[in-house]
């Protein structure tokens, strides 16, 4: 994103970035409302307005609450805008009982995940995480498999409960069943840009949950930060698990494994690790709760 002083070129660039492709509403296809749990609705965004609400949520979580540094455009419109948003699917949790500042109920996006399928990535900008990790060997080793990139996961602070996270994961389960996804990957983050402050956690992931060679992805050489900086026998497993970010811990419970090398993302103020989850390797006991098929309606009674 350009950081020049506002002018004609800036306005033209901003217009291109904020423009979304026309989205056709086809009720026979997978989309719209997926399920409900009380006042919470799980859905795929179908309109530009819904995507903008997800961007506002991301701005609040990543920039206002987290350590991300907004560029000129993001600070002006108070949305986390990314060119990839134009081509991704956006999984949302909407609270229909949320109150606005006037005390009236108004639907509010309280959770979001961004989903990018391989065929969409190939026809547009590629995968977002290719800016940090070398994905080419992974894709070459698994030709014919269908990959899904997960990204921009966030939940509004008052809603960071098991219920909302399970809704998002159930949506991912329904999505991968519908699109016949074989494997998921993406980046998970630790707060801060000092990997040494997460030495124990990063070493734990490197020692206890490394990806198998055929699924391993390495950070780009220019951005690679070694993860295994502590010996395995010096790591207190129970203490380390308790300190892991909730998303990393959730991925571990599903049977996810982690790539070679962490990456510092200074814009977002995070230290990232690469996560890969072949669908066939996901723990059935965990995935069953988020799964698909006839279980899709069960959450309405939760």
- Alpha carbon dihedral 142, 147, 182, 140, in 10-degree steps, equals 0
What distance lies between CA 205 and its chain's CA centroid? 19
Report the DSSP beta bridge partners of residue 36.
Answer: 41
Give the orientation angle of helix 246-254 with respect to helix 162-178, to 10 degrees: 50
Per-position pLDDT tens, the chain of length 302: 333 333 333 433 444 344 444 444 443 467 889 999 999 999 999 999 999 999 999 999 999 999 899 999 999 999 999 999 999 999 999 999 987 777 788 899 999 999 999 999 999 999 999 999 999 999 999 999 999 999 999 999 999 988 898 899 999 999 999 999 999 999 999 999 999 999 999 999 999 999 999 999 999 999 999 999 999 999 999 999 999 998 999 899 889 999 999 999 999 999 999 999 999 998 766 665 555 443 333 333 33
User: DSSP secondary structure string, 152-194?
Assistant: EEEE-GGG-SHHHHHHHHHHHHHHHHHTT--EEEEEEEEESS-
pTM of the full predicted structure? Answer: 0.85
Spell out the domains of the chain, with CATH numbers in brackets. 29-301 (3.40.630.30)
Residue 236 phi, psi dihedral angles, 5° rounding: -80, 105
């Amino acid at each position: 994103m350009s950081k020049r002083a506002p002018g004609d070129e800036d306005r033209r660039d901003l217009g291109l970035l904020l423009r979304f492709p026309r989205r056709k509403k086809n009720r026979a296809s997978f989309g719209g409302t997926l399920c409900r749990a009380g006042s919470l609705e799980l859905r795929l965004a179908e309109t530009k307005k819904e995507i903008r609400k997800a961007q506002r949520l991301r701005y609040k979580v990543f920039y206002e609450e987290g350590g991300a540094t907004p560029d000129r455009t993001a600070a002006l419109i108070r949305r986390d805008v990314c060119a990839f948003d134009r081509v991704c699917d956006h999984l949302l949790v909407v609270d229909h009982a949320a109150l606005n500042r006037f005390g009236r109920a108004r639907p509010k996006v309280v959770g979001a995940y961004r989903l990018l399928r391989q065929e969409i990535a190939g026809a547009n900008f590629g995968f977002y995480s290719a800016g940090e990790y070398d994905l080419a060997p992974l894709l070459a080793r698994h030709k014919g498999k269908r990959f899904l990139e997960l990204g921009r996961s966030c939940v509004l602070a008052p809603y960071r409960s098991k219920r909302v996270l399970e809704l998002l994961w159930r949506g991912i389960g329904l999505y991968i069943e519908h699109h016949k996804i074989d494997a998921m990957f993406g980046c998970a983050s630790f707060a801060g840009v000092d990997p040494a402050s997460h030495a124990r956690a990063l070493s734990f992931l490197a020692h206890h949950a490394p990806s198998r060679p055929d699924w391993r992805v390495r950070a780009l050489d220019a951005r690679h930060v070694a993860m295994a900086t502590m010996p395995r026998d010096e790591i207190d497993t129970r203490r380390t698990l308790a300190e892991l970010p909730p998303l990393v811990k959730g991925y571990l419970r599903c049977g996810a494994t982690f790539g070679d090398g962490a990456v510092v993302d200074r814009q977002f103020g995070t230290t990232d690790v690469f996560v890969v989850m072949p669908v066939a390797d996901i723990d059935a006991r965990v995935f069953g709760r988020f799964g698909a098929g006839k279980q899709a309606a069960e959450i309405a009674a939760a």
